[in-house]
């Protein structure tokens, strides 16, 4: 009876993942591979945006894509058709990817032979923002039909992202989407966020996004 002892632990539950993510980033630096973590809601046009991005950058960069769609390989097949090396990461129904799953994906992809790897995270604006995947930069896509108040509803997602792509600007006339408001709300959460209004469908604005990404890759890969 009462012969329990109390062990002080004081260890972060997030710490294991944070450490794994830091280690992964250090390895990527050594291998000269840039990892972009791309997040969004389902249906924001991630796959179409990726196709455009690959088309623009593939003449100069060796690109790989890791798809984390929960239970289909539809997106993986669409991306594979662009010629980029593509694999499907199986999240086992999880709502996000962590650094361990990302590492397994990179190994399968043989990422050491690639300049740019895009991790297409699970379509969700909450959980992926909480877990460091080991990516060099985080980007998210918000599409016009989702509304300009998303930065208020999902503040963490907007604060962890280095870049925000606002997609589907071709349908702006049909929605009450206030571009100035979304930019203001996003900067409130993250004063340094880079914002790229684009239409993945028509290609408008895609060059500015690709220029930013190219510059980030060059900077990281030396």
Among positions 170-199, residues that touch another protein (CB under 8 A) are 188, 191
Question: Of 3-11, 62-70, 72-80, 169-177, which part binds another protein (CB under 8 A)?
Answer: 3-11
Q: In what order do the strands lie in the sheet with 85-88?
A: 85-88, 63-67, 116-120, 34-40, 137-143, 163-167, 194-197
34, 95, 104, 163, 167 from 213: Cα distances, Å: 10, 26, 24, 9, 16
221 contacts 214 by C-beta, under 8 angstroms: no
- Comparison of 40 and 190: residue with beta carbon closer to another protein: 190
Closest listed residue to residue 216, CA positions, set 164, 140, 163, 167: 163
d(CA 21, CA 99): 5
x/- string (CB under 8 A) for another protein, residues 88-127?
------xxx-x---------------------------xx
Tell me the closest approach of the beta carbon of residue 218 to another protein, in angstroms. Answer: 29
Among positions 56-95, residues that touch another protein (CB under 8 A) are 94-95
Question: Of 10-18, 24-32, 110-118, 194-202, which part binds another protein (CB under 8 A)?
Answer: 10-18
Work out whether 13 is an interface residue with another protein (CB under 8 A).
Answer: yes
Tell me the closest approach of the beta carbon of residue 132 to another protein, in angstroms. Answer: 12
């Amino acid at each position: 009876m009462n012969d329990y002892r109390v062990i002080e632990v004081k260890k972060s539950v997030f710490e294991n993942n944070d450490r794994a993510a830091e280690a992964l980033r250090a390895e990527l630096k050594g291998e000269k591979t840039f990892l972009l973590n791309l997040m969004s809601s389902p249906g924001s046009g991630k796959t179409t945006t990726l196709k455009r991005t690959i088309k623009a950058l593939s003449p100069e960069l060796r690109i790989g894509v890791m798809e984390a769609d929960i239970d289909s390989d539809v997106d993986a097949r669409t991306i594979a058709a662009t010629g980029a090396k593509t694999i499907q990461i199986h999240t086992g129904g999880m709502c996000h990817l962590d650094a361990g799953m990302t590492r397994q994906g990179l190994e399968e992809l043989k990422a050491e032979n690639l300049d740019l790897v895009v991790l297409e995270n699970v379509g969700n604006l909450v959980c992926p923002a909480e877990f460091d995947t080991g990516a060099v930069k985080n980007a998210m896509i918000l599409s016009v039909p989702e509304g300009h108040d998303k930065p208020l509803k999902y503040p963490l997602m907007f604060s962890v992202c280095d870049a925000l792509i606002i997609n589907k600007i071709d349908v702006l006339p049909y929605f009450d989407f206030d571009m100035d408001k979304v930019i203001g709300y996003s900067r409130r959460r993250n004063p340094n966020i880079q914002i790229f209004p684009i239409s993945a469908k028509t290609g408008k604005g895609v060059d500015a996004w690709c220029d930013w990404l190219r510059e980030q890759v060059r900077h990281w890969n030396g």
